[in-house]
């Protein structure tokens, strides 16, 4: 792999970070993980990898697809330092994010791990909060953000609102579509659901998940229910799946959390309140906005000016 440390644990006791980079990003019209958003032209995945190292994660497992995968692996091979421990997993067929995570089972093993999108920039504070949780807890977790901290323009986005009980355990994820920031600073969702207006401090999921090894049979069961021809490790022994149905991670985890037993804690998901911004490139027009915002954060001392350096 030329400079990639495949299979290394990245340091004893440090959780693994699974980065999902197999999607096609039709709304963006290009390879979002390689969008040059950094102060010096660094890609989104570069900033995430650097932030993950500073936050306390060890190995990075990168899930790649057949079309954009070669370009991403080439970029990583050329641009990431040898000190970054990385393994590559491939999702040959687009069967959803739950299937993508299941495909990393042999690489992650029994270690605690986080899952992120490769096209959102989560920041060190939220990643560090999750790394700390995974180092000491036996529960799954979801890091939530305030809605206002996840929107970069007035273009519509989709956000999953987090419903938690009084003890902070996830009860439900409600997907809200066509969420738009109005000129008056208020958010509204034009999806026919109520409430239409969403407060800016509404807690939403940006798919920053933390899991223990107990998630593997849950993912296996959900994927095999939709795709009986898929192996427990996510591979397709027959060569081609009989269905193109996507099994989505938020839906699988949401169903697990809704059915969780309060007494034993089996299947419970802790909702952690993340701080800072989660910045993503949803539309092509977002790119200059994201670049400017990240540059301002560097200028304010809220981000390092480069992904690789002390503590990464």
As for how many domains the chain has, the answer is: 1
Q: What is the signed CA dihedral for 27, 274, 175, 90, rounded to 10 degrees? A: 50
For residue 303, being part of any structural domain is answered with no
CA-CA distance, 174 to 286, in Å (whole number)?
A: 25
Sign, CA torsion 111/117/118/122: negative
For range 51-72, the mean pLDDT: 95
Tokens of 133: 């949780």
13-38: pLDDT as tens digits? 799 999 999 976 555 557 889 999 99
For residue 10, being part of any structural domain is answered with no
Angle between helices 44-55 and 124-136 in degrees, nearest 10: 50
Percent of the chain with pLDDT over 70: 92
CA-CA distance, 265 to 261, in Å (whole number)?
A: 6
Residue 239: strand pairing partners = none
Are residues 10 and 16 in contact, defined by beta-carbon separation less than 8 angstroms? Answer: yes
Do the strands 157-164 and 203-211 form a parallel or antiparallel pair, or are they unpaired?
Answer: antiparallel
Comparing CA positions, the residue from 74, 132, 68, 58 lying closest to residue 94 is 68
Residue with tokens 């996507």: 246
121-163: pLDDT as tens digits? 999 999 999 999 999 878 999 999 999 999 988 888 999 999 9
For residue 267, being part of any structural domain is answered with yes
For residue 155, being part of any structural domain is answered with yes
For residue 94, being part of any structural domain is answered with yes
Identify the band that residue 7 occupies on the pLDDT scale cut at 50, 70 and 90. Answer: very low
Note the pLDDT of residue 2: 29
Instruction: Give the pTM.
Output: 0.91
The CATH number of whichever domain residue 164 belongs to comes to 3.90.550.10
Domain that holds residue 37: 16-296
For residue 2, being part of any structural domain is answered with no
Residue 238 or residue 189, greater confidence = 189
Cβ neighbour number for residue 70 with a 10 Å cutoff: 11
CA-CA distance, 16 to 278, in Å (whole number)?
A: 20
For residue 233, being part of any structural domain is answered with yes
Note the pLDDT of residue 158: 92
Comparing CA positions, the residue from 20, 18, 290 lying closest to residue 153 is 290
For residue 302, being part of any structural domain is answered with no
In a 3-state reduction of DSSP, which class is residue 47? helix
**Which helix (H) or strand (E) element contains residue 110?**
none
For range 39-61, the mean pLDDT: 95
């Amino acid at each position: 792999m030329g400079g990639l440390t495949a299979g290394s644990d990245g340091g004893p006791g440090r959780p693994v970070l699974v980065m999902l980079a197999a999607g096609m990003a039709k709304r963006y019209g290009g390879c979002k993980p390689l969008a040059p958003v950094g102060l010096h032209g660094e890609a989104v995945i570069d900033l995430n990898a650097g932030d993950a190292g500073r936050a306390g994660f060890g190995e990075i497992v990168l899930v790649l697809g057949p079309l954009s995968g070669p370009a991403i692996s080439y970029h990583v091979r050329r641009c990431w330092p040898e000190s970054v421990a990385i393994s590559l997993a491939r999702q040959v067929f687009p069967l959803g994010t739950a299937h993508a995570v299941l495909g990393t089972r042999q690489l992650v093993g029994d270690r605690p791990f986080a899952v992120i999108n490769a096209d959102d920039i989560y920041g060190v504070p939220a990643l560090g909060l999750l790394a700390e949780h995974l180092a000491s807890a036996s529960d799954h977790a979801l890091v939530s953000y305030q809605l206002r901290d996840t929107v970069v323009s007035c273009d519509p986005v989709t956000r999953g609102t987090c419903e938690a009980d009084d003890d902070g355990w996830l009860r439900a994820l409600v997907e809200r579509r066509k969420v738009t920031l109005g000129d008056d600073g208020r958010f509204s969702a034009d999806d026919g659901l109520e409430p239409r207006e969403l407060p800016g401090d509404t807690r939403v999921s940006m798919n920053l998940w933390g899991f223990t090894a107990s998630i593997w049979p849950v993912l296996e069961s959900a994927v095999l229910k939709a795709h009986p021809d898929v192996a427990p490790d996510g591979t397709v022994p027959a060569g081609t799946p009989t269905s193109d149905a996507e099994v989505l991670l938020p839906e699988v985890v949401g169903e697990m959390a809704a059915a969780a037993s309060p007494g034993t804690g089996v299947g419970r998901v802790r909702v952690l309140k993340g701080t800072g911004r989660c910045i993503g490139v949803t539309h092509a027009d977002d790119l200059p906005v994201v670049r400017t915002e990240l540059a301002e954060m560097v200028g304010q001392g809220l981000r390092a000016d480069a992904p690789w350096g002390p503590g990464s």
